[in-house]
Amino acid sequence: MQASVLEDGILVEHYASGITDTSVGNIYAGKICGVLPGIGSAFVDIGEEKAGILKLPSPNNRNGQRLRYGDPVLVQVTKDPRGHKGPDLSSKISLSGRFLVFMPFANVVGASSKLEGRERARLRKMLREILPQGEGAIARTAAAGCSEESLESDYEALKKRWQEIEMQYARFATTGRYPALLKSDSDLALKLTRDVFNDSFTALQVQGRDFEKVRSYVGETNPELLAKVQRWDPALEKEDIFDHYGIENQLNLGLERIVELPNGGTLVIDKTEALTAIDVNSAKFSARSAEMENTATQCNIEAAKEIGRQLRLRDIGGMVIVDFINMQLESDKQLVLSTLQKSMEGDRSKHAIEGMSSLGLVEITRKKLGQGLVESFSHECENCHGRGLIISREPVKAADTQERPEPQV
């Protein structure tokens, strides 16, 4: 199953079941397989390819005793594995519902920062009345305008799910049948409907057998949005839904290293171990004015609009450094920064944008939502091993280019 989010016909997010899936949020009955006090971490076997990393002093069991090798521990994935590192884990469990995030061990009440001040205060007040002492919750952006009954219903459903997870963990820990997966959002259709679909969408069009399942879920959780759930019949429409919206072509562009801007400029996107670098080039950029400062500013503004979309589409996480074309005027720099901030307003991921340096560099931090588009639809080259270079035994300039061996693909 694949799903795409379009804004004004432009692809901004793409998901594929079994490919772009994320393990973040999965809950495991894990087994301690190593404790390293020197680095303040414990390694936990969760039954996956790589052991997870749990920060100390978190690795304590429910009775407050320090965990030892082989002990069971209830953990949740907070960050997907990357490179040679396993997933990051936490013993502070949270469960996401339609309107709130339930935290059984956190005595805290909060609301999404994307909500307005009065609405945040209203939701926090209702949550304090709903939650018993010792439990916590955060109202999600989707909770805007919802009633106390809706919040309470969401809480009751999450509380029931948590009690089931506790019973499962106790059973596995008692019988020694761990590590084991206790909870996973494996159904991509329902997960995206819960986390992404809201009243800002014009329509949710579904092709295939998932339609009835999605429609039933929306009818139970958000009946006011039911009219926006539409079935796409390729036989009736005489084309596949992805072909109709040109998603394949846009997806292919999202996998390229170089992104062309409308007026001739380009973005060059390179990923390293430490960060992702985005270089803004004027290239063949054509501006109405021949003035250099104005041309640089216009190109940077166009690039800033596209960068926000590319970060969402490619699901680029961690540190991002953008090298804009150098501008002299402070007003122009602020204009580019405000454009970049506006282009990222629709991004569901937590992110932050720092100011522009004297060299035109902008730092962005962004939390990944999944595995990443390029990582999901590619694999490491067997010849260059990710370096992008084929090493020659002879100096390149001295070697005859016609005699260079062809890479084995």
Does residue 331 lie within any of the structural domains?
yes
pLDDT above 80 (res 198): yes
Residue 284: give the domain boundaries. Answer: 254-373
19 part of a folded domain: no
d(CA 384, CA 34): 34
Most confident of 187-201, 225-239, 366-380: 225-239
Question: Same structural domain for residues 313 and 366?
Answer: yes
pLDDT, tens digit (0-9, with 9 covering 90-100), for 136-158: 999 998 888 888 998 999 999 99
Among 198, 217, 247, the domain boundary falls at: 247
Pick from 68-77, 187-196, 273-282, 304-313: least confident? 187-196
Mean pLDDT value of segment 15-36 = 83
Residue 143 inside a domain? The answer is yes
- In the chain, % of residues over pLDDT 90: 51
Q: How confident is the model at residue 407 (pLDDT cuts 50, 70, 90)?
A: low
Q: Please check the confidence at residue 288 and state whether its pLDDT lies above 70.
A: no
- 128 and 177 within one domain: yes
Residue 71 lies in a domain: yes
- Segment 250-271, tens digit of pLDDT: 988 888 999 999 888 999 999 8
State the pLDDT at residue 399. Answer: 47
pLDDT at 404 over 60: no
Q: Is residue 140 part of a domain?
A: yes
pLDDT score, position 62:
45
Tell me the residue type at 370.
G
Of 61, 90, 119, the domain-final residue: 90
Across 376-389, average pLDDT = 78
Average pLDDT over residues 213-231: 90
Confidence check: pLDDT of 409 > 50? no
For residue 228, is pLDDT > 90?
yes
Instruction: Decide if pLDDT at 405 tops 60.
Output: no
Q: Is residue 363 part of a domain?
A: yes
Mean pLDDT of 3-19: 86
Q: Which of 232, 247, 262 marks a domain boundary?
A: 247
Find which of 18-27, 93-102, 282-291 is predicted with most confidence, using mean pLDDT: 93-102
Q: Answer yes or no: do 200 and 269 share one domain.
A: no
Q: What is the pLDDT of residues 32-59, one digit of tens each?
A: 999 887 778 899 999 988 899 998 764 4
Q: Residue 393 falls within a domain, yes or no? A: no
Q: Do residue 49 and residue 109 come from a single domain? A: no
Q: Are residues 261 and 360 in the same domain?
A: yes
Residues 138 and 175 in one domain: yes
Q: Is there a domain that residue 300 lies in?
A: yes
Q: How confident is the model at residue 64, as a pLDDT?
A: 44
CATH number of the domain to which 170 belongs: 3.30.230
* 119 and 72 co-located in one domain: no
> Nearest-5° angle of CA 76, CA 83, CA 3?
65
Query: Is it the case that residue 400 has pLDDT exceeding 60?
Result: no
Same domain? For 271 and 353 the reply is yes
What's the whole-number average pLDDT of the chain? 86
pLDDT tens digits along 293-302: 888 899 999 9
Same structural domain, 310 and 367 = yes
The token duo for 339 is 């454009």
Asked if residue 133 and residue 74 are part of one domain, the reply reads no
In this structure, what token pair is assigned to residue 118? 């009065």
- Give 37-65 as a DSSP string: GGGTEEEEE-SSSS-EEEETT--B-TTSP
Q: Strands, DSSP E only, in 291-360?
A: 318-323, 351-356
Cα 398 to Cα 90, 392, 393, 395, 401, distances in angstroms = 55, 11, 11, 5, 9
Mention every residue, 6+ apart, whose C-beta is less than 8 A from residue 133.
107
| Count: domains in the chain | 4
pLDDT digit string, tens, across residues 61-93: 444 457 788 889 999 999 888 777 889 999 999
Q: Which residues contact 81 (CB under 8 A, 6 or more apart)?
A: 23, 48, 49, 50, 87
Same structural domain for residues 102 and 86? no
Token reading at 25? 């949020």
Statement to judge: residues 113 and 154 lie in one domain:
yes
Model pLDDT, residue 60 = 47
